Amino acid sequence: MNIDLIKEFRNKLHENISKVILGKPEVIDLVIMSAVCKGHLLIEDVPGTGKTMLAKCLAKSLEAEFSRIQFTPDMLPSDVTGLSIYNQATKEFEFRPGPIKANIVLADEINRATPKTQSALLEAMEEKQVTVDGKTHHLPELFMVIATQNPIDYEGTFSLPEAQLDRFLIRLKVGYPDNDAEMAMLRSQKLSHPIESIQPVAEVNEIIKVQEEIKSVHVSDKIEKYIVTIIKQTRENEEIYLGASPRGSLALYRLGQCRAAFLGRDFVTPDDIKYVSPYALAHRIIPVPSTRLRDFEPEGMVEELISQVPVPGG
């Protein structure tokens, strides 16, 4: 395992994206972690906080094929996956792939599409393939969906089903920049947008190699038990109607490996698991109705659950 290779990859990608997304180092790290862990990302925040720009920066930094799908209520599943069109010259049906066939797919305002259209992403996100007219079409080896949604605007929206939410490795909020970062943003966009000037710093083959290197980070039996205990706690808590699925366990495992490598370690510690847990689990749990009536924050509930789990070696 080459930890230096992983750290160098993270550093150059982080530095490049930071030229556009100012004052958000933690958010940028989580975006890179999601890509390195072969996961999908859900960004939930108010308009204008840089959700779309994050996706574009990542794709441009990796010189990856990028596509954007603007979800609307009148969209059909074929607008996402593609469709078969009859070719009169060859007298055969030819498959025309939709925007889903790219390395990084931005599903903008995903909750504005109907459940039928949202479901077109399920197979792609889990199996890296789409099935149209009974034929399966495989997606690129580097395939990542970055979905955005506005948590404030509920009119004309459709909540994401649990099966869809569970396929996202991380859910995060960008948040507003602080005063210094917002002033720097004003200056940086005085003449042109900084994304127009950033150049690729890595290639698709490079991130695929890093994705394989991450798997070699050591996870001890105690850490594995710690992960399983945290997940079990979400399933047995009286305030939670539905706890995290086995995908939640895998998410903690892989994200823990990634964070350890980013910090220059070849082994995972309990702190790595604690750090990634709110981002990996908060969108996977459903509270009981009485909990929702209170001032409920899923991230805070996850942190409270973790505080009740004994730390290995502690």
Q: C-alpha angle with apex 124: 79 to 33, nearest 5 degrees?
A: 120
Task: Retrieve residue 63's tokens.
Answer: 């010189």
pLDDT of residue 197 exceeding 70, the answer is yes
Q: Do 254 and 39 touch, CB atoms closer than 8 A?
A: yes
For tokens 């899923």, name the residue: 298
Average pLDDT over residues 42-46: 90
Q: What is the pLDDT of residue 292?
A: 66
* Residue 207 banded pLDDT, cuts 50, 70, 90: very high
CATH 1.10.8.80 domain span(s) along the chain: 217-307
Task: Identify the pLDDT of residue 154.
Answer: 67
What confidence tens digit (pLDDT) does each residue in 77-90 have?
A: 999 999 888 888 88
Percent of the chain topping pLDDT 70:
97
Token pair for residue 211?
Answer: 């994705």
DSSP assigned state of 283: G
CB of 43 closer than 8 Å to CB of 172: yes
The pLDDT value given to residue 276 = 95
So what's the pLDDT on residue 290? 73
Contact at 8 Å (CB) between 105 and 97?
no
Local confidence band at 39 (pLDDT 50, 70, 90 cut-offs):
very high
In the Cβ-directed half-sphere of 288, how many Cα atoms lie within 13 Å? 10
Task: Please state, in angstroms and as integers, the Cα–Cα distance from residue 63 to each residue in 102, 160, 201, following that order.
Answer: 12, 30, 8
User: HSE of 72 in the Cβ direction (CA atoms, 13 Å)?
Assistant: 5
pLDDT value of residue 300:
84
Average of per-residue pLDDT values in the chain: 90
pLDDT at 55 exceeding the cut of 70? yes
Confidence of residue 159 (pLDDT cuts 50, 70, 90): confident
200: its two tokens:
């690729």
* Residue ranges matching CATH 3.40.50.300 in the chain: 3-211
DSSP-assigned letters across all residues of 98-119:
-TTSSSEEEEETGGGS-HHHHT
Q: Which residues pair with 66 in a beta bridge?
A: 104
Query: What mean pLDDT comes out for the span 90-103?
Result: 88
Yes or no: say if 268 and 255 are a contact pair by the CB < 8 Å rule: no
CB of 90 within 8 A of CB of 97? no
Which of 54-58, 142-146, 241-245 has the lowest average pLDDT?
241-245
The CATH architecture assigned to 3-211 reads 3-Layer(aba) Sandwich (3.40)
Residues contacting 271, CB < 8 A, separation 6+? none
pLDDT in tens, 237-290: 888 888 899 999 999 999 999 999 999 999 999 999 999 999 999 999 888 877
The CATH-assigned architecture of domain 217-307 is Orthogonal Bundle (1.10)
Residue 270: both structure tokens together: 């309990």
| Residue 15's pLDDT band (cuts 50, 70, 90) | very high
Is the pLDDT at 311 greater than 70? The verdict is yes
Distance, in Å, from the CA atom of 214 to the CA atom of 253, rounded to the nearest integer, reads: 11
Task: Check residues 150 and 144 and name the one with the higher pLDDT.
Answer: 144
- pLDDT value of residue 243: 87
Residue with tokens 């100012």: 22
